[in-house]
Amino acid sequence: MQGLLEFCAAMARRLRTRVWTTLVRGRFRAFGAGSIVEPVSALAHPNCVEVGARVHIREHAWLNCFPREDGKPTLVIKDGCYIGRFFHANAFSDIVIEEEVMIADRVYIADVDHKYKDPEKSILSQGLEVKGPVRLKRGCWIGTGAAIFPGVTVGRNAVVGANAVVHKDVPDYGMALGNPARIMTRQDAPPKE
């Protein structure tokens, strides 16, 4: 009996995801074949988001995007990516997630930050400022609870550890661990040519 209940619950989750994906896919700028978005995800201006093929966006993701004046997408998620639960992207200008990137749960990525130059005004009232593009290169892995800040590039097949706070570039095959993140070379990195 327990097996039957688990099977029914899994089928209900699949059906719910299929329905949700069907409802939201047309709102994106582009949405590739075989991609899914699990319910319920918050989508601010999904017309600014390009999703490649075979992308899996887990439940409760928040894609907080803002239209650019030149009409280009502010968030690009390329083929084969996995985006974990409670992912939060603030893409006001230029975030690109390349092919086969794996992002764990509760990851935060932003190309924008709050202004705080006037000490007499509240930070809330000073608005936002675009600080720099973010790139997650092909095959990298972003661990649970990590934060990637504006202007950062995470290199090909690099690893960002759980809860790392990344303010600097991570090289190809590198590792970023801690808060603030320390950048290291992976022991299994291929030799430089």
Cα gap 64→100, rounded to integer Å: 22
The single residue of 45, 60, 114, 167 carrying the catalytic annotation is 114
Report residue 183 as tokens: 């950048």
114 catalytic residue (yes or no) = yes
Q: Which residues are catalytic?
A: 114
